[in-house]
A and B are shown apart, each in its own frame.
Chain A
Amino acid sequence: MTLKLIGGLLIMAACSLYGIAASNRYSLRPKDIRKLRSALQMLETEVIFGSTPLPAAMNNVAKKVDGGIKSFFSRVSQELLSGWSYDLDTVWSGAMEELQKETCLTGVDKELLKDFGKVLGCSDREDQKKHFELFYIQLKHHEDMAEEERRKNEKLYKSLGFLAGLVIFIMLI
C-alpha cells in the first residue's frame, strides 16, 4: 500500500511538472518577444544613428543581450565578417536555428523575423527606419497574441497536469 501510494504520488508530481513545463512555453514566449524587440531596438540605434555597418552593429548588440538572441546575433555577425557569405538573407535565416534551441519563439515569430532579414540593410536610412517601425508594430501584435494565449493557457496546462496526475492516482488506488 505504501509503495502504491509513493508510486501514485510520483506520477502526480510528474504530471504536474509536465503541466508546468507546457504552460511555461506560453509564459516565456511574451518575454522572449519583448527581449527580441529590445535587441532590435538596439540594432536600430546602431543603424539609424550610428550608421554602423551590420556586421559590427550586430556584434555590438550581441554584447548587450543574452540567451538565444545573443547567440543569434553573434552568429550572424561572425558569418558576415568571415566573408564567406554572399548575402545577409541566407545568413540571417540560417542563424535562426539558434533561436529554435534557446527561446520559446514560435514559427510565426520566426517567419516575421525572417521577412525582416530580407529588407535589413537593403536601403537607405530613412527607409530602414520605416522597416524597423513596421517590424515593431507587427511584433507588438504577436506580443499581444502571445500574452492572450498565456492568460488562457498558462493556468489551464498547470491544472490539467495536476488533474491528470490526480485521475491516474485515484484510478491506481
Chain B
Amino acid sequence: MSNGKISEIAKYMPKEIKQMLEGLPSHVLEDIEEVRLRQGKPVMLHGDGREYLMGKNGQPVFDIRNAYICTFDDIKSAVSLITNYSLYSYEDDIRNGFVTVEGGHRVGICGKAVLDKGSVRTFKDISFINYRIARQVIGAADRVLRSIMQTDGNIYNTLIISPPQCGKTTMLRDIVRQLSNGTPAMGFKGKKIGLVDERNEIAACSMGVPKNDVGIRTDVLDGCPKAEGILIMIRSMSPEIIATDEIGRSEDGAAILDAINAGVKIITTIHGSDIEDFLRKPSLEKLHNGLFERYIIMSSKNGVGTIEAILDENYKPVRGHLTREAGL
C-alpha cells in the first residue's frame, strides 16, 4: 500500500531521482513523508521524524559528500512533470504555492514570486520542490469521535486546529469516513456529508471518483473554492454535515456562518497550534463567538497525530476525553 503511494508520486519526479527513490530499501520507503529537492543541494527524505540524504548510489546516506546533488535540469523536469508540461493550466495552484497531484499528494513549490499590483501573480525560477506523500490512516479519528457526537445522534460543529504536518487532513478524512459510514458500535447512524475538497486532498478524486475512502454517504465537490462550494453544497446535495479543509479567508467564515444558519453541521480545519491562534485571526472574526462547539487541537509532540486537547464551546477541556487521555 505505502509503496503504491510512493510510486504514485514518483511519477512526478525527475528520472534520476525517481530511479534512486525506487531503489531505496522498503523499510525506508514505507516511512517517507516528504521528498525535498533544492537546486544545487542534496535531495532529502523526511519520514517518521528522521531525515536522510539520497546517496549517489541510490542508498540513504548521512554524509553530504556522498549525497546526490539536485541539478537545474532535475528541477526543470520535475516542474514540467508536476504541471503536466503545462504550467499555464496550474496557474492558480502555483500562485498558492502547491499543486495537488493524482492520489491527493501535495507538491509544494517555491521560487521567485512575480508580483502584479502587490499580490503574487505567479512564481518564476522555481528551485525548491517538496513532495508530500498523503497517506490515509483508517482509524485516525477513533479517539476523538465520541467527543464530537452529541447524545441525540447529532454531531457538534467541530474545528480541528493544528500546525502543518501534524495529520489534520488525515484526521478530517477519517472523521468524514466514520461519520458517513456510521458507527453501529456507538449507535451512530451514518450522516449525509458534503465534502468541499478545494485542493483535492481529502478524497483525492480522480476522474470524479474518490481514491481515498471517505464513506458511503459522502458527496464530493472537487476543486471548488470553499466559500462558493459550501453554498453550492447546501443548495444542491442537502447535506447534514459539511466538511472542508483549511479555512482562513473571511469569505470562508461567511459561508460557514451561512451553513450553520441553514442547520447544517460543520467540520473543518485551520492552521494554528492552540485556540489562541484561532482567536487571533481577524479574518475569521465571525466564527469566534462560540459557533464551534468542539475544538480538537493537534500537534506532533508524540508523533504525527497527537491530540493535545479537545475543548468545548467555552474553550474548556471536554471531560470525558481527558480522563481517557490520562489513562493512556
Contacts and interface: CB of A to CB of B under 8 A. Distances in A.
The judgment on whether A and B are partners is yes
B84 A53 contact: yes
Given A86-B14, A88-B80, A121 B86 contact: yes
Interface in B48-89: 76-77, 80-81, 83-89
A122 B124 CA distance: 10
B85 A54 contact: yes
B15 interface: yes
Nearest to B84: A53
B88 A128 contact: yes
Contacts of B84: 53-55, 80
A52 B89 contact: yes
Given A86-B14, A86-B77, A87-B77, A47 B85 contact: no
Interface string A46-88: 0110011111010000000000000000000000100100111
B181 to A, nearest CB: 35
B34 interface: no
A86 B87 contact: no
Contacts of A128: 88
Contacts of A83: 11
Contacts of A53: 83-86, 89
A122 B87 contact: yes
B266 to A, nearest CB: 31
A87 B91 contact: no
Interface centre among A51, A86, A128 (most CB of B within 10 A): A86
Contact of A121 (B77, B87, B121, B122): B87
Contacts of B124: 123
A47 B86 contact: yes
- How many residues of B sit at the interface, in one of the four size bands? 10 to 19
Nearest to A127: B88
Interface in A117-167: 121-125, 127-128
Nearest to B78: A86
A123 B85 CA distance: 10
A94 to B, nearest CB: 14
A128 B86 CA distance: 10
- How many residues of A sit at the interface, in one of the four size bands? 20 to 34
Contacts of A87: 76-77, 80, 85
B88 A86 contact: no
Interface string B103-131: 00000000000000000011010000000
A57 B124 CA distance: 23
A127 B120 CA distance: 15
A56 to B, nearest CB: 9
Interface string A97-111: 000000000000000
A88 B77 CA distance: 9
A123 B88 CA distance: 6
B11 A121 contact: no
A86 B81 contact: yes
B80 A86 contact: yes
Nearest to B121: A124
Nearest to B124: A123
B87 A123 contact: yes
A55 B11 contact: no
Interface centre among A80, A83, A122 (most CB of B within 10 A): A122
Contact of B85 (A48, A51, A80, A124): A80
A83 B85 CA distance: 11
Contacts of A127: 88
Given A83-B11, A86-B14, A86-B15, A124 B88 contact: yes
Interface string A13-38: 00000000000000000000000000
A86 B12 CA distance: 9
Contacts of A51: 88-89, 91
Contacts of B87: 121-124
Given A121-B80, A124-B91, A124-B121, A88 B85 contact: yes
Given A121-B83, A123-B122, 7 more contacts: A47-B86, A47-B88, A53-B89, A54-B85, A83-B11, A123-B87, A127-B88
7 contacts: A47-B89, A57-B86, A86-B15, A88-B80, A121-B83, A124-B94, A124-B121
